[in-house]
Amino acid sequence: MTTIYFVRHAQPDFTVHDDATRPLSNQGKEDCQKLIAFFHQIPIDLMFSSPFKRAYDTIWPLAQSRNTIITTIDDLRERKVSDTWLTDFPTFAYRQWQDFSFKLEHGESLAEVQSRSIRVMSTLLTDYSEKTLLIGTHGTALSTIINYYDQKFGFAEFNAIKAMMPWIVKMSFDGNHCVNIESFTLNRNQAFTTYAIFD
């Protein structure tokens, strides 16, 4: 069995519009420290991340606590919306989930994001079979991965998790076949609890 923990980044500083360099907010920096406690008794063999700052910085304290190297993979980056800041994101997100091929000029469709993400998954599952991996990731990119393995995950589920930061998703694989998906989110007591992706 191969286990992959995806960690969607903690709360970012939305005043920074550059997607690649957007940092964590002060709250985000506090919340990512809680990952150390969550993973305290969970062995992790390797850690990977999107190259985007908010994803990398979210898992950095955990990696530092274990003296573990984080390997960045460019194809784990978040979906590119366009070359300009989008003000009406909910409408755009809805259109993309209704049509996986829909994209703005100079942007990416969900189909394109899913394709590159699953290529990475296939490589990791082949190269690190029977290992436990952790991946620093993003809301949309992670959602397309979940959708690939379980197509019940759609816009409603994506919309439900949009404010969950950080958000942990655990996937278990038998070879390349995903046999189980679990997720965890911070509750009001600032501790991670199980969150049901599907009703």
Return all residues near 155 (Cβ < 8 A) that are at least 6 apart: 93, 94, 97, 98
Question: What is the Cα–Cα distance from 164 to 185, expressed in whole angstroms?
Answer: 7
Domains in the chain: ranges and CATH: 2-195 (3.40.50.1240)
pLDDT 10s per residue in the chain (199 long)?
Answer: 999 999 999 999 999 999 999 999 999 999 999 999 999 999 999 999 999 999 999 999 999 999 999 999 999 999 999 988 888 899 999 999 999 999 999 999 999 999 999 999 999 999 999 999 999 999 999 999 999 999 999 999 999 999 999 999 999 999 999 999 999 988 766 678 887 776 5
For the entire predicted model, the pTM comes to 0.94
